[in-house]
Amino acid sequence: EVQLVESGGGLVKPGRSLRLSCTASGFTFGDYAMSWFRQAPGKGLEWVGFIRSKAYGGTTEYAASVKGRFTISRDDSKSIAYLQMNSLKTEDTAVYYCTRAPREVYWGQGTLVTVSS
């Protein structure tokens, strides 16, 4: 059974950093791209970015709203994808989800990041 579990969320002050983890199981992690999405309270869904599998170079793409501040990485030996979030802003407050790409059938339960002073 495919499972994705996000962790690392919490309350953080503006300008600080936070790293989220997405621990995967039930599939060969290294064969898949992994995506991150977010949803601000009471708002719609927003794509954050993704990381391709090593077979496709392991390269990353980001939404304009986070480019230069957020970094996605992966550790295939541990089946974990990471979302490093730097220079956090209040507007980054959201539930963050990881998914297996493409065709996002599998989602984690989400982890809440609150950016507030």
**Residues at the interface with other proteins (CB under 8 A):** 35, 44-47, 49, 61-64, 97, 102-105, 107-110
Question: Is the Cβ of residue 76 or residue 107 nearer to other proteins in the bound state?
Answer: 107
| Phi/psi at 54 (5° precision) | -60, -30
Question: Is the Cβ of residue 11 or residue 45 nearer to other proteins in the bound state?
Answer: 45
Which two three-digit tokens encode residue 5?
């579990």
Question: Is the Cβ of residue 15 or residue 37 nearer to other proteins in the bound state?
Answer: 37
Report in angstroms how near the CB of residue 50 gets to other proteins at its nearest. Answer: 8
Report in angstroms how near the CB of residue 49 gets to other proteins at its nearest. Answer: 8
Cα–Cα distances in angstroms (integers) from residue 108 to residues 5, 17, 22, 63, in the given order: 5, 22, 8, 20
Give CA–CA dist 40/33, Å, rounded. Answer: 24
